């Protein structure tokens, strides 16, 4: 697995660095806000949206619970259509297959359509080691590649860059890898897009080999589908002689009709359009039209691990629309890089641990990168219950640390709570103590929680300090319910507001 960005710190430290970058936060807030509004408008237009979600989820789920049968069928139909099917257990195997195909055609470069799967396996780096250059042709990917940067969003990988930064990158970097940007380049989006068009056209016209992913792979008909906006996908899928598509095994859709709810759900959820500008489908080789040599690499790389998880399996329904990123309050503030993976945001927080397994500190920190507010589930076009999977994975992370010599902060805090709650006398004592602390904490509390409740800044004690370092905790009430009951005879003699003394 090379899906974790090398040397990436665990989420909390990465997030702290990202939060300090005000330009980044500004770009993110603008971008996610814009796209959220667009999505909401076009989704509201579809009265049957909830039924459409049910249908979309069911299509993907039916593919997953019968995946072996559909994969065998897909292989059969693709082969009958003239495509060559390869299977790759992991990233290294997939990369080697693509490199071998390029070498067989003496290609020292390939053009690429934006594809999450090829990013996940680190294909560009693997090809570079073999002396093969991989050109990203999606505008955002080009910005990221030229800027020697990392993608930060599934759909808009350069969401963290504004137009002035993009102009700088084009002026500085294009000349080194092909047609230079015009000297009078402005930061008008149309002008920047025009420069990308000129820069990439010479690459499209001479490329012999293209690499793509696929949004869907129809088992019944042996059809691959690529959904895109710019036409760079069409260029790659049409112009070169050889096409290699790296397709995660979870992309299978059983039947041709099954594409229907998905093709209606995806564009509205992702770019907030009724339909994306271009969708291409192809079934193997079409004589005299497009690539005459077509390869499909079916990729596992951890997907079967996710499939084996009864709660987590649903994450494989994901159609990578990125709606969950745009509504996530955590993502909006820290951006994609802090997740340390090509799959950021809420879906990344579950997909990475599911595919890689828990156990390393970076992956283990991801299920905690959420406030469990549930907005991701609400927008997900295939109804992945992300909060449910997050909670499930948190349990797995905690289980994985049982027996550690130094317990995690959370485990210490929870163990303390269990000790206290399991005995009535201890509880009464702690309640009194925390009532005192509550008064102090209300006085010194740094902040107030939504709704105006007082918040405790940090609570004292070794384990607890780490646990509350990034969390707002309501200040404990000054009097416990048990004490209040005793004092007021169950409320019969109570005339005071014990919480804050303010009328409410």
Partner 1 sequence: MSAREEILGRVRSALEGVDRTGTVPPAPRVTPVADLVGRFAERVEDYRAVVERCSEADLASRVAAALPAGARVVVPPGLGVEVPGARVDDGLSAAELDALDAVVTEAVVGIAETGTIVLDHGPGQGRRIISLVPDRHVCIVRAAQVVADVPDAIAVLDPARPLTWISGPSATSDIELNRVEGVHGPRVLHVLVVD
Is residue 275 a contact point for partner 1 (CB under 8 A)? yes
Binding-site member from 322, 358, 365, 442 for ligand SF4 (CB under 6 A): 322
Nearest-approach distance from CB 265 to ligand SF4, in angstroms: 8
Nearer to ligand SF4, 95 or 270 (CB): 270
Nearer to ligand SF4, 38 or 432 (CB): 38
Contact predicate 102/133, CB 8 Å: no
CB atoms within 10 A of CB 182: 14
Contact predicate 384/349, CB 8 Å: no
Binding-site member from 98, 123, 249, 350 for partner 1 (CB under 8 A): 249
Nearer to ligand SF4, 121 or 318 (CB): 318
Name 454's bridge partners: 448
* Closest to 71 measured CA to CA, from 304, 230, 324: 304
Nearest-approach distance from CB 175 to ligand SF4, in angstroms: 36
Among the residue ranges 80-88, 137-145, 196-204, 381-389, the one whose residues contact ligand SF4 (CB under 6 A): 381-389
Is residue 324 a contact point for ligand SF4 (CB under 6 A)? yes
Binding-site member from 20, 190, 406, 424 for partner 1 (CB under 8 A): 190
Question: Which does residue 323 bind out of ligand SF4, partner 1, none, counting CB within 5 to 8 angstroms by kind?
Answer: ligand SF4
Rounded (5°) CA angle 410-11-446: 65
Question: Which does residue 66 bind out of ligand SF4, partner 1, none, counting CB within 5 to 8 angstroms by kind?
Answer: partner 1
Is residue 318 a contact point for ligand SF4 (CB under 6 A)? yes
Is residue 119 a contact point for partner 1 (CB under 8 A)? no
Nearest-approach distance from CB 347 to ligand SF4, in angstroms: 4
Question: At which residue do the structure tokens 């109570």 appear?
Answer: 494
Is residue 196 a contact point for partner 1 (CB under 8 A)? yes
> Tokens standing for 374?
């549930």
Nearest-approach distance from CB 320 to ligand SF4, in angstroms: 5
Is residue 24 a contact point for partner 1 (CB under 8 A)? no
Number of H helices, E strands in the chain: 23, 12
What CA–CA distance (Å, rounded) separates 45 from 49? Answer: 9
Question: Which does residue 370 bind out of partner 1, ligand SF4, none, counting CB within 5 to 8 angstroms by kind?
Answer: none
Q: Which residues contact 434 (CB under 8 A, 6 or more apart)?
A: 476, 480
Is residue 215 a contact point for partner 1 (CB under 8 A)? no
Is residue 375 a contact point for ligand SF4 (CB under 6 A)? no
Binding-site member from 59, 235, 306, 323 for ligand SF4 (CB under 6 A): 323
Question: At which residue do the structure tokens 């693997």 appear?
Answer: 126
Using CB under 6 A, which residues numbered 341 to 360 contact ligand SF4? 347
Contact predicate 112/137, CB 8 Å: yes
Is residue 185 a contact point for partner 1 (CB under 8 A)? no
Binding-site member from 71, 247, 379, 475 for ligand SF4 (CB under 6 A): 379
Contact predicate 315/376, CB 8 Å: no
What CA–CA distance (Å, rounded) separates 188 from 185? Answer: 8
Using CB under 8 A, which residues numbered 128 to 147 contact partner 1? 137-140, 143
Secondary element (H or E) of residue 67: helix 67-80
What CA–CA distance (Å, rounded) separates 50 from 278? Answer: 25
Q: Which own/partner pairs from 49-54 qualify as long-range (CB within 8 Å, at least 24 positions apart)?
A: 52/261, 52/264, 52/265, 52/381, 53/265, 53/380, 53/381, 53/382, 53/383, 54/383
User: Going residue by residue from 277 to 316, which x/- string records binding to partner 1, judged by CB under 8 A?
Assistant: xxxxxxx--x-xxx-------x-x---xx-xx-x------
Using CB under 8 A, which residues numbered 57 to 76 contact partner 1? 58-59, 61-62, 65-68, 71-72, 75
Question: Which does residue 162 bind out of partner 1, ligand SF4, none, counting CB within 5 to 8 angstroms by kind?
Answer: partner 1
Question: Which does residue 14 bind out of ligand SF4, partner 1, none, counting CB within 5 to 8 angstroms by kind?
Answer: none
Rounded (5°) CA angle 187-190-194: 100
Question: Which does residue 256 bind out of ligand SF4, partner 1, none, counting CB within 5 to 8 angstroms by kind?
Answer: partner 1
* Closest to 171 measured CA to CA, from 202, 189, 207, 146: 146
Question: Which does residue 324 bind out of partner 1, ligand SF4, none, counting CB within 5 to 8 angstroms by kind?
Answer: ligand SF4
Nearest-approach distance from CB 172 to partner 1, in angstroms: 17
Beta strands in 219-333 (DSSP E): 223-228, 242-248, 252-253, 278-282, 293-299
Question: Which does residue 113 bind out of ligand SF4, partner 1, none, counting CB within 5 to 8 angstroms by kind?
Answer: none
Among the residue ranges 64-72, 231-239, 321-329, 458-466, the one whose residues contact ligand SF4 (CB under 6 A): 321-329
Contact predicate 209/107, CB 8 Å: yes
Using CB under 6 A, which residues numbered 251 to 280 contact ligand SF4? 269
Nearer to ligand SF4, 60 or 234 (CB): 60
Using CB under 8 A, which residues numbered 39 to 58 contact partner 1? 46-48, 51-52, 54-56, 58
DSSP 3-state percent helix, strand, coil across the chain (nearest 5): 55, 10, 35
Nearer to ligand SF4, 266 or 297 (CB): 266
Provide the phi-psi class of 63: left if phi over 0, else alpha when psi is between -120 and 50, else beta.
alpha
Name 210's bridge partners: 111, 243
Which residues of the chain form contacts with ligand SF4 (CB under 6 A)?
269, 318-324, 347, 379-382, 384
């Amino acid at each position: 697995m090379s899906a974790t960005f090398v040397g990436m710190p665990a989420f909390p430290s990465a997030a702290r660095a990202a939060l300090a970058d005000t330009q980044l936060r500004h770009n993110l807030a603008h971008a996610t806000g814009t796209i959220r509004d667009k999505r909401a408008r076009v989704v509201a237009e579809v009265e049957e949206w909830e039924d459409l979600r049910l249908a979309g989820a069911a299509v993907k789920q039916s593919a997953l619970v019968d995946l072996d049968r559909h994969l065998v069928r897909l292989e059969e139909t693709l082969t009958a259509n003239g495509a060559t099917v390869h299977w790759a257990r992991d990233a290294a195997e997939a990369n080697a297959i693509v490199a071998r195909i390029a070498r067989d055609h003496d290609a020292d470069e390939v053009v690429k359509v934006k594809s999450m799967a090829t990013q996940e396996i680190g294909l560009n780096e693997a090809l570079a080691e073999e002396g093969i250059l991989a050109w990203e042709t999606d505008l955002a990917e080009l910005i990221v590649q030229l800027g020697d940067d990392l993608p930060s969003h599934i759909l808009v990988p350069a969401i963290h860059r504004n137009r002035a930064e993009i102009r700088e990158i084009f002026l500085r970097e294009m000349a080194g890898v092909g047609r230079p940007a015009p000297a009078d380049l402005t930061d008008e989006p149309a002008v920047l897009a025009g420069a990308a068009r000129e820069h990439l056209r010479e690459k499209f016209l001479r490329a012999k080999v293209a690499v793509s992913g696929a949004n869907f792979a129809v088992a019944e008909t042996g059809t691959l589908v690529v959904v895109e906006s710019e036409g760079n996908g069409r260029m790659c899928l049409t112009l070169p002689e050889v096409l290699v598509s790296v397709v995660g095994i979870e992309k299978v859709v059983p039947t041709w009709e099954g594409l229907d709810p998905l093709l209606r759900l995806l564009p509205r959820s992702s770019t907030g359009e009724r339909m994306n500008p271009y969708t291409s489908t192809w079934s193997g080789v079409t004589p005299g039209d497009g690539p005459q040599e077509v390869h499909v690499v079916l990729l596992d790389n951890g997907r079967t691990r996710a499939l084996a998880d009864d709660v987590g399996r649903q994450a494989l329904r994901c159609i990578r629309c990125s709606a969950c990123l745009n509504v996530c309050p955590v993502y909006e503030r820290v951006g994609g890089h802090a997740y340390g993976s090509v799959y950021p945001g809420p879906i990344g927080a579950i997909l990475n641990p599911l595919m890689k397994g828990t156990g390393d500190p970076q992956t283990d920190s991801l299920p905690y990168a959420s406030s469990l507010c549930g907005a991701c589930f609400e927008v997900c076009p295939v109804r992945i219950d992300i909060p449910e999977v997050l909670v499930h994975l948190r349990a797995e992370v905690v289980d994985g640390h049982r027996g550690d010599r130094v317990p995690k902060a959370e485990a210490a805090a929870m163990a303390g709570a269990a000790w206290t709650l399991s005995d009535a006398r201890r509880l009464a004592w702690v309640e009194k103590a925390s009532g005192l602390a509550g008064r102090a904490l209300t006085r010194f509390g740094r902040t107030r929680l939504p709704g105006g409740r007082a918040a405790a800044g940090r609570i004292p004690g070794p384990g607890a300090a780490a646990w509350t370092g990034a969390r707002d905790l309501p200040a404990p009430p000054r009097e416990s319910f048990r004490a209040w009951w005793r004092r007021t005879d169950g409320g019969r003699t109570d005339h005071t507001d014990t919480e804050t003394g303010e009328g409410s």
